[in-house]
Amino acid sequence: GNFTVQTQEQLSQTVHRKQNLASASSCFCPSTTMADVNRSNKPEWLQQYDLIGKIGEGTYGLVFLARIKSATNRGKSIAIKKFKQSKDGDGVSPTAIREIMLLREITHENVVKLVNVHINHADMSLYLAFDYAEHDLYVS
């Protein structure tokens, strides 16, 4: 994959660094509708995708369905997970860091592949892009 951060130490330092660069146009806010996001000035990393809609929400974040725009993988579905901010307001939670470190090491047919990691330095939000898996483990 194409990762923003290469080592656990770098990831920890990056996600815990506070930035004073708040910029509404550079954040992908979960309260924004997908149509609004597709029309607005998306961050550069997000411009490679057509956002389709929200497909899930859990304890740690929101998940959106997107499709790749590039010629090599045009139309391929991707799930983008946006982590919720940590409760202490100090960047990304240790749970998210552990998830990233494990997913980068795992290659297995029963584990969805982590494609990309992005940290928005303006608001210290974290996004993970995965291959999209249509099935839910909890649906019979």
pLDDT tens for 81-121 read 998 776 666 677 788 889 899 999 999 998 999 999 998 87
Tell how far CA 63 is from the center of its chain. Answer: 8
pLDDT of residue 128: 92
Q: Between 126 and 66, whose confidence is greater?
A: 66
* 8 Å CB contact between 58 and 72: no
Domains identified in the chain and CATH numbers = 2-131 (3.30.200.20)
**82 is known to lie in a ligand binding site:** yes
CA atoms within 13 A on the CB side of 31: 1
The whole-angstrom separation of Cα 51 and Cα 67 is 7
Instruction: Flag whether the pTM goes above 0.85.
Output: no
Give residue 139's pLDDT: 60
Choose between 90 and 45: higher pLDDT: 45
Q: Give how far Cα 58 sits from Cα of 14, 61, 63, 84, 120, Å.
A: 24, 5, 8, 9, 20
